[in-house]
Every structure is written in structure tokens, then in C-alpha cells.
Amino acid sequence: MIKNKTDRKVRQLVAKWTCTEEMPILEAIAHTLPQSSRTSQKQLLRDRCVTCNGKVCDNHTVVAQPGALIEIFNIGFLPPLSRTEAKVLWQDDFFILVHKNAGINTIATHEGDKNTVYRIVADYYKSSDIREKIFLLNRLDRDTSGLILFARSREVQQEVLENWGKHILSQSFSAVVEGNFNEDEGEFAAPSTVTKNRVKGKKKTGEHISRRSRVSYKVEKQGSFRSLLFLTLHGRYNGIRTQLNESGHPILGEKNKGVIIKGAKKLALIQRELILLHPITKRKHNFSLPLPEEMKRLLAGRTTQSERKQIKERQEEKDENKSRIKLETLTKTTK
């Protein structure tokens, strides 16, 4: 049984009451806490300790309707974190879910890198309680937008990481990639080969087995030498960009990957869905994001004359390689 072990203050329900008729929120608070003074009622609103039907109230002009549930808590709710780089979509006492935009790292990649999703979210919660800590559960590349999940205690983090498939039921992405597909669905197998472990500026330090997870795909729509894929990651380790590139279908917007189709302002990849089976409440939470308009625009685009020429040259090169391999195989067989 996981316990939410933390030094931070835990939010608790102080009182609740259901409105019997339409009334101002301050009057509803007075009904909920009959012994409270007018001053303390206003303070509860300012401190964001009051919710009406689950929504935080911090304005005395709110009018509660008949049947509205008024709840008062001992600790107020923080104002929403809504920055260009990161936005909190959902939270409870155990998790925080953030929408990360492209152009910012999930965690620091070098010393002094403070503009990260982790730092933004950590500072935001510490501003309310210095004892607050967050623990990363998944990460996305700098160029990828999508959903980032944090645990609010080390114990919850370890439970999810050690039982990933039990609690993270699905991680799905959408990507606009080069090329068209003959099959409506398929799979990019995780590599089984041993790869060299490189350290920048140093010699090779050894070998390790790649930890990229298996990725399956469904073709949602095809355009002019481009396709919209719905990709499901089967495991913790995300190697989608590399696997697509190795398959000959790089994502539009990739740099230095031999991409022919131009016009992408940023990487056409987004994590669209994350399904969490809550280890504490046992509830299933399905989080999703809409497909960006920019990706829809890219899918509807047309190839230029220059791009068509490159596509033809690449196809001829592939055909030549296939013929050469076939001839080499046939020669070996006849010997």
C-alpha cells in the first residue's frame, strides 16, 4: 500500500454544503461555515480555498446556483500555471500533468540550463510550499510537444517506474512523416543489436543494449508523399524519431535527416494521449491533446517540382539497391 510520504502540507476538506437556492458565493460560504466571520469568508476566497462544483472561486461576484456543491479546504489552490512553454492540465495529491510545448527541454541538458519544464513546474509549486517536491516520470525531446507526468513523492514515482505497464496503459503520438504506406498499420521493432556508448569529447567507453521500446503505427491519412501516423509506444523508452528515420519515413521538420519535404516550421510530432491507471485511487485517467493545425496544414500540402525530382531520384536509388542485393543473393546461391 503506497502512502503519500511528504513533508508538504496536505489539502483537506474542511466543510461542504449544497445550495438550496441561488445566492452570492459569500452567502454560500456563510451557510457552509456558519461560525465564520465576514472577514474570514472573504479571506477564504482570496486564498482560493473555496470551490463551487469543483471549480476554484476567488471572486465575490460568483453566484451559486441551486444544487451547487460548495467545498472549503484548509489550503488554497494555486492559480493556474499557464505559460507559453508549459501549462498544468491536471493535478491531485499524487500527480501533476503538464502540457509541454516544443522548444523547451524537459530537464536540464547542461549545467546552468534553468529554462526547463522541470524547473518551471518545481518553482511554481515551491512558491506556495517550499517543501513541495516533484519527480519526473516521462520526458520528451526539446522539439516534441506533449504530455509530461510528474509524481509528487519519491514513493509514487518508484511505484510507477517499477510497474510501468501496470500504471501507464498507453502513450500515443501523432506524426506527419515523409512517404506513403501500403499497409494501414504495422510496427517498428525495437533494435536488438548492441550499440556503442559514446561520450561527447571522449573515446568510446563501452557497449550497451539499446533501450528503445517497440512502436506500432496506424495510418490515419495519406497525402502527397506524406502520411499522418498514430503511433503507440510499448514501453518507457522513446525512440520514435530514430525508428521512423531508420524506416525511411523521417518526420517533417527533422533537421539533417535527409528530409525532402520542406515547409515545416517545427517538428511535426506530438504526444497526443497518455492513459494512467492511478496507483492510489485505482481510477483510469485518459488525457489527450488535439492535433495541431500546423500538422493538418502540412498533411494537406503539395510537393514542389524540386521535391518530386528528389523523390524520383531516391526511388531509383532504392530500386537499384534492391536489384543489386537480389543479384548478389542469386550469385551466392548458384555458387
CATH classification code of 167-188+212-312: 3.30.2350.10
Each residue's pLDDT tens digit, 162-208: 999 999 999 999 999 999 999 999 998 665 554 555 544 444 455 54
Which of these CATH numbers, 3.40.50.920, 3.10.290.10, 3.40.50.720, 3.80.30.20, describes 13-73?
3.10.290.10
Burial class (CB in 10 A: 0-12, 13-18, 19+), 223: middle
What is the sign, positive or negative, of the torsion defined by CA atoms of 221, 223, 225, 226?
negative
DSSP string covering 31-60: HHSTT--HHHHHHHHHTT-EEETTEEE--T
In the DSSP assignment, the letter for residue 6 is: -
Residue environment code for 207-219, b if the CB has 16+ CB neighbours within 10 A, otherwise e: eeeeebbbbbbeb
> Any idea which architecture 79-162 has in CATH?
2-Layer Sandwich (3.30)
- Is the distance from CB of 270 to CB of 145 less than 8 angstroms? yes
Specify whether the CB–CB gap between 271 and 146 falls below 8 A: yes
- Predicted confidence at residue 19, as pLDDT, reads 96
Characterise 253 by phi-psi region: left (phi > 0), alpha (psi -120 to 50), beta (else). Answer: left
- Alpha-carbon distance 299 to 177, whole Å? 9
Pairing of strands 63-64, 55-57: unpaired
| pTM (whole model) above 0.85 | no
Residue (of 62, 63, 96) closest to 77 by Cα position:
96
Closest C-alpha to 241, from 265, 218, 271, 204 = 271
pLDDT at position 194 is: 46
- Which ranges of the chain does DSSP label H, i.e. alpha helix? 25-32, 38-46, 117-126, 154-162, 164-167, 240-246, 293-300, 305-334
Q: Which residues pair with 186 in a beta bridge?
A: 217
Every domain of the chain and the residues it spans: 13-73, 79-162, 167-188+212-312
Give me the pLDDT at residue 202, please.
Answer: 47
Task: Say what the pLDDT of residue 331 is.
Answer: 75
CB 169 within 8 A of CB 284: yes
Tens of pLDDT, residue by residue, the chain (335 residues): 565 455 566 778 999 999 999 999 999 999 999 999 999 999 999 989 999 998 999 999 999 999 999 999 998 888 878 778 899 999 888 999 999 999 999 999 887 788 899 999 999 988 878 888 999 999 999 999 999 999 999 999 999 999 999 999 999 999 999 999 999 999 986 655 545 555 444 444 555 455 678 899 999 999 999 999 999 999 888 889 999 988 889 999 998 767 889 889 999 999 999 999 999 999 999 999 999 999 999 999 999 999 889 888 888 887 787 777 777 777 777 66
8 Å CB contact between 260 and 243: no
Check: CB of residue 100 under 8 Å from CB of residue 85.
yes
pLDDT of residue 30: 96
**What is the reported pLDDT for 76?**
85
182 burial type by CB count under 10 A (0-12 exposed, 13-18 middle, 19+ buried):
exposed
- Convert the pLDDT of each residue in 237-272 to its tens digit: 888 999 998 888 999 999 876 788 988 999 999 999
